[in-house]
Amino acid sequence: MIPKKIGERTLTFEKNIYWRGAAAVAGTKEGKGPLANTFDEVLGDDTLGEKSYEKAEVQLFLRAVNRAVDKSGETMDTVGCFLGGDLLNQIISASFSARMLQLPYIGLYGACSTMTESMMVASMFLDGGFFDTVACATGSHFATAERQYRFPLEMATQRPPTAQWTVTGAGAAVMSTKGGSIRLTQATIGRVVDYGITDANNMGAAMAPAAIDTLTAHFEDTGNKPSDYDLILTGDLGCVGSTIVCEKMREKGYPMKDVHRDAGCMIYSEDQDVHAGGSGCGCIAVVLNGAIHRAMLEKRYRRVLAMATGALLSPTTSLQGESIPGIAHAIVLEV
């Protein structure tokens, strides 16, 4: 690791940390979107035959982990640790998956930033020499998230135009020092940033300040420009948040609109009627571990800055009048 100066938030890894395996399992609606053929599996039934959507979410999560480990050429016996988290109260999808996997487990919570949070922490563990292979996963389910954060689906509440649609899907990444063709070379840790947005139906705007904070720290720490990347992937700012972030970054001297794409804007087509785009831990998880992993293997992208953003609210904080803080963790992936 290159020693950091005080105030720097970007870590540069000494060892070669490989993104050795990746898998994306997506729901039925996501399977009808433009990225359908980049997923490893598309569900035929979003209940997966389970009695509750929460139980289905655990199965979704497990399928992604099992597929990623298989694809990496590893087995559960050679994975040293499992890192995961999700949107449900007490991160039960991750913890109940860990109950099945029987791996040493560290639960993380970063809301929708969990995918890059887990890949960053895994890389720190690998660079530190504690393991040679670590599995990371996160996911979300439209039906569980809606009833926990907003309203039961049965109420058929009308959604405002700024609302995003929680992705049903889970993504998993197997990080390893053993080899691979894509490396995770740097990571920029997020801070909690809050500009006072209180509308839980406008997450993009709530997370935009954290995204701008982490992107600015990344470019300042590394001296890189947006154009040094083939792709800056965010998730899930949606259409509203993406516009804010690109505009503010341009003002700060980092024009990034030409290389920027947001997972929330990529996953559904316009005729799927999702308003401001996809959201949920599973959104960037399935886009990154599906489309982006494939594109990098095929060398269509050689250098990607991937940044997942999370809104750190709870239904209780919203009811108590708190604003919505955000966080964003960024990782650099290179072929």
Binding site for its own copies (CB under 8 A): 1, 3-4, 6-7, 9, 11, 51-52, 54-55, 77-78, 80-81, 85, 88-92, 95-96, 98-99, 102-111, 117, 121, 124-125, 127-130, 148, 189-194, 312-317, 320, 322, 325, 327
Structure tokens at 60: 């979704």
169-176 and 303-311: which strand pairing?
unpaired
Q: What backbone phi and psi angles, to 5 degrees, belong to 179?
A: 130, 165
CB of 273 to its own copies, least distance (A): 28
How far CA 158 is from CA of 15, 270, 314, in Å, comes to 50, 18, 21
Tell me how far, at minimum, the Cβ of 38 lies from its own copies, in Å.
Answer: 29
- CA-to-CA distance for 80 and 93, rounded, in angstroms? 20
Residue with smaller CB distance to its own copies, 242 or 309? 309
Query: Of the two residues 95 and 224, which places its CB atom closer to its own copies in the complex?
Result: 95
CB of 54 to its own copies, least distance (A): 6
Helices (H), 223-262: 238-251
How far apart CA 182 and CA 295 sit, in angstroms, is 11
Residue 182: CB minimum distance to its own copies, A: 21
Measured from the CB of residue 136, what is the shortest distance to its own copies in angstroms? 13
CA–CA separation, 95 vs 28, rounded Å? 24
The HSE-up count of residue 52 (CA atoms within 13 Å, CB side) is 7
Separation of alpha carbons 111 and 309, rounded Å? 8
Q: Which is nearer to its own copies, 158 or 320 (CB)?
A: 320
Q: Which is nearer to its own copies, 210 or 266 (CB)?
A: 210
